[in-house]
Amino acid sequence: MLLSTILEAASYGPAIAAVAAAIAVIGAALGLGKIGQSAMEAIARQPEAGGRIFTSMIIVGAFVEGVTLFAIVVCLLAGQG
Amino acid sequence: MKTVLKHITLWFALACALFASGQSFAQETQTEKPEKFDSKSFIFGHTGDSYCYHITEINGEPICVWLPVIVKCKETGWHCFSSKHVCELKDGETFEHKGSQFFIEPIKADKYPGKLVEVKADGNLSRPFDISFTKNAFGIFLVCAFLLAFFLPAARMYKKDPMGQPTKYQGLVEWLTYMVLDGIIRPNVPENKVKKFAPYLLTVFFFIFFANLFGLIPFFPFGANVTGNLSITLVLALLTYFFVNIFGNKHYWKDILWPDVPIFLKAIPIMPIIEIISTITKPFALMVRLFANILAGHIIIMVLMALIFIIGGMYGAGMGGVMSIVSIFMTVFMTAMELLVAYIQAYVFTMLSSIFIGMAQQEPEHE
C-alpha cells in the first residue's frame, strides 16, 4: 500500500530507463565478448583464414549491436516521456 | 614506444597542472554563480533537424545559413520565406506572411516540438503541409550531388574509351565499385539478376556511407545528421522492401503464402501471417539498426563535448579547461570509431538488402 502510493507519487520513468539501458548494455557486452572469443580461437587455429574470420566477426558484431540499439532506442523514448 | 610514453606523461602532467590551477581559480571566484548549461537542447539541437543551419555565434549574434521555409496552408495557400524570420522570434511573437501567422514551437513543447506551426484566427495551432528545405534535406542533396560528381565522370570516361588505360581516378572508382559488387552483391544475388539489382544496391551503399561520413564533419556544409533520422532510414528500408517484394519470384510468394507445411498450419492462416509479418520485420530491423547506430554515435560525441560546458558551468572556467583536454581525447577516439561504424553500417545494410533480394529471386531446385 505504501509502495504503491510512493510509486504513484513520483515519476520514475527516466530513472528506470537509465537502468534498462545499462541492462541492455550488459547483454551486448556478453554477446560481443563471445563473438570476439570464438573469432580469436578460430584465427589461432588457422591463421590463413584470418581475413575472412575477421570480416565475419565484424558483421555478426554489427547484428548484435543492432539488437542492443533497439533496446537503447526504447530506453531513450521512455526517458523522454 | 618511448616517444609515446613521453608524450602521454607530458600531457598528463599538463592536465594535472591545469587541474591544480583550476581548483585554486575556482576557490577564488566563487562569488559569481556560472549559468547552467542546457545540455538537452545542445545535444538534440545538433543531432536533430532544423530550419536554419546554425554555424556559430559571434558576440551573441548567431551566424546561420537561413534555409527557405516552404509550407502550404489550407486557407492561404503556398508560403515561401527565409527561416530567418521564424528562427529569431522571441517567446510569444509570431511572424506574419501573406495573412498567416507562423512561429516555431520550442523543443520542449507538447504537441509539435521543434516544428513550424500556424496560428489560426481562433488561436488554435495547426501544422501546415511542410516541404521546407531543412538541414537534413540540404544534407541529402549534398550527398547526392557528391555522388553524381564522383561517379558519373568515371562512367563517361569508360564509355568514351572502353579499351583505354584507366586513370588513377578511374582506378579508385573501379576499386570501390567492385568491392561492393564482388564482395556483397555477387555472393548473394543470382548471377542473371545482378545487373538488375546492382544499381540500387550500389547506390544505397554509397549513399549511406557518404551520408554517415558527412555527418561526422563538424563544419558547414557537412554537419547534417542525415542517416541518424528515422524518416530517412524509413525511406531506405521501404525501398528495400519494395525491391524485395515487387520483384519477387512466383516461387518466393508461393513459399510465403502457401508454404510446404502440414495443412493445419496454413488453412487457419498461421504460417502465411507469420511469413508476411517477417517480410515487414526484416526491413524494420534494417531501419532501426542504421538509425540507432548513427544517432547513438552522434549523441556520444555531443555528450562528451557537452561535458566541458557542464563541468565549466558547475565549477568555473578553470575546471572547464581541464575537462576539455580529457574530453577532446575521448572525442577523438569516439570519432575514429564512428568512421568504422559508418563503413560497417553501410556494409551491413547493403549486405542484408542483397541477401533478401537474393532470397526472393531463388529458382526452386529441381528434383
Rounded to whole angstroms, what are the CA distances from B302 to A32, B229, B231? 25, 16, 21
Is B123 a domain residue? yes
Percent of chain B residues past pLDDT 90, beyond the cut: 38
User: What are the angstrom distances between the C-alpha of B24 and each of B20, B263, B320?
Assistant: 6, 81, 13
Instruction: Note the pLDDT tens digit of each residue in A15-54.
Output: 889 999 999 999 999 999 999 999 999 999 999 999 889 8
Q: Is B347 on the interface with A (CB under 8 A)?
A: yes
Q: How far is A41 from chain B (nearest CA, A)?
A: 23
B294 and B250 in one domain?
A: yes
Q: Which residue range is the domain that position B318 belongs to?
A: 135-360
Identify the band that residue B47 occupies on the pLDDT scale cut at 50, 70 and 90: confident
pTM: 0.85
Q: Over 80: is that where the pLDDT of B235 sits?
A: yes
The domain segmentation of chain A, as residue ranges, is 13-80
Residues 6+ apart with CB under 8 A from B18: B318, B321, B322, B325
pLDDT digits (tens, 9 = 90+) for B58-116: 777 778 888 888 888 887 778 888 887 777 776 777 777 777 777 777 666 667 777 78
What part of A 39-78 touches B (C-beta under 8 Å)? 58-59, 62-63, 65-66, 69-70, 72-73
Q: Do B348 and A59 touch (CB under 8 A)?
A: yes
Q: Is A13-80 assigned to CATH 1.20.20.10?
A: yes
Q: Alpha-carbon distance B200 to A60, whole Å?
A: 24
pLDDT at B56 exceeding the cut of 90:
no
**What is the DSSP secondary structure assignment for residue A57, as one 8-state letter?**
H
C-alpha cell at B35: 549559468
ipTM over 0.85: no
Q: Is residue B367 a part of any domain in this protein?
A: no
Query: Contact, B65 vs B83, CB < 8 A?
Result: no
**Cβ-proximal residues to B272 (8 Å cutoff; 6+ apart), any chain:** B256, B257, B258, B259, B266
Q: What is the pLDDT of residues B145-191, one digit of tens each?
A: 999 999 999 999 999 988 888 899 999 999 999 999 999 999 999 99
> Measured between alpha carbons, how far is residue A52 from residues A44, A58, B234, B345 in Å?
13, 10, 31, 18
B25 Cβ contact list (under 8 Å, min separation 6) = B316, B317, B318
For chain B, the average pLDDT equals 85
Tell me which of B70, B104, B130 is where a domain ends: B130
**CB-CB neighbors (< 8 A) of A59 in chain B:** 347-348, 351
Q: Are residues B118 and B139 in the same domain?
A: no
Q: Return the residue of B nearest to A58 by Cα.
A: B344
Query: How many Cβ atoms are within 10 Å of B8's Cβ, its own excluded?
Result: 10
Whether residue B293 and residue A72 make contact (CB cut-off 8 A), yes or no, is: no
